[in-house]
Amino acid sequence: MTLYSEVDTEEYYDSVAKALIKKKASAKFPSNEDLKTALKDKDLYNTQPKNRNYLFEMLENFNNREHVDTSNEQITIEHIFPRNPNEDWNNELPPTEYFTFKEKYLNTIGNLTLSGNNGALSNKSFLAKKAMNIEGNEQGYQFSRLWLNTYLKSIDTWNVSKYEERFNIIYERFLKIWEFPDVEISEGEDSDEQNIFDAESPTQKN
C-alpha cells in the first residue's frame, strides 16, 4: 500500500501521520528513543552539507527573536573537542575519555557548535576557547550570542559528563522542533501488516 493511497484529503495531517506511525520493519517511523540513539551516534559533520546546514539552522533559530543566518560564510562548524587537539587536552582528560571523544563523539551533535571564529579557536584547550579575547575581538564561547554556545558559557571544562548534559539539552530542543505526531491509532488500524495465515493466496499477484 502506498502512502498516497492512505491520505485522507479531509484529514491530511492526521492521515499521513497515522500512515507513517503504522509502518513496520525497515519503514518503521522512529520513536523519540530511536531518534535519541541515532542522533547521539550520528556523524553529522561529514553528512551532506545541505542536510547539516538545515539541522543547525533549525536548532539555532528555534524560538529565537533574532534570526541567525547560519549560511553566512563567516559562521562555520566548530569542534569543541578538536579534530587535532593540542597537548592540553591530554592533560585535562583521562585517557579513556580522550579516546571516547577522538573515536566516538568527535563529529556528533554534542561536540559540534557554530562559531564565527573557528580558525582562531582551532585546537586550543576548552578554557582557552571559552575565554579567547585576542585584541578585544571576543572570539571565545563566553562572548557568543548563539544559542548553541549558551551551555558552553556556563562550564569550565569539557569532558564526557558535560558532553552528555549538552547533548540532552540539544535533544530536548530537537523534540520541540520535530515533534512526534500527536495522533491516536484506534484498535484495528495499528498495523499495515497481515498475518500470513490469514492472507489470500499470492498466486498471480504482485
Q: What is the mean pLDDT of the chain?
A: 83
Range 44-67 average pLDDT? 92
Q: State the pTM of this model.
A: 0.77
What's the pLDDT at 132?
A: 86
What's the pLDDT at 48?
A: 93
Q: Look at 102 and 139; give whichever has higher pLDDT.
A: 102
- pLDDT band at 102, cuts 50/70/90? very high
- Contact partners, residue 172, CB within 8 Å, separation at least 6: none
What's the pLDDT at 30?
A: 76
The answer, yes or no, to whether residue 79 has pLDDT greater than 90, is: yes
Least confident segment among 25-29, 50-54, 86-90, 189-193 = 189-193
Distance between the two ends of the chain, CA-based, in angstroms? Answer: 12
What's the pLDDT at 10?
A: 63
What's the pLDDT at 195?
A: 53
The answer, yes or no, to whether residue 190 has pLDDT greater than 80, is: no
Grid coordinates belonging to 16: 499521513
Range 27-54 average pLDDT? 88
The answer, yes or no, to whether residue 143 has pLDDT greater than 80, is: yes
63: left (phi over 0), alpha (psi -120 to 50) or beta: left
Sequence-ordered alpha helix ranges (H) in the chain = 12-21, 32-41, 49-61, 87-92, 95-100, 118-121, 126-131, 150-153, 160-177
Instruction: Give the residue from 16, 193, 183 showing the smallest Cα distance to 7.
Output: 16
Question: Could you give the 3-state DSSP secondary structure of residue 108?
Answer: coil
Range 130-155 average pLDDT? 89
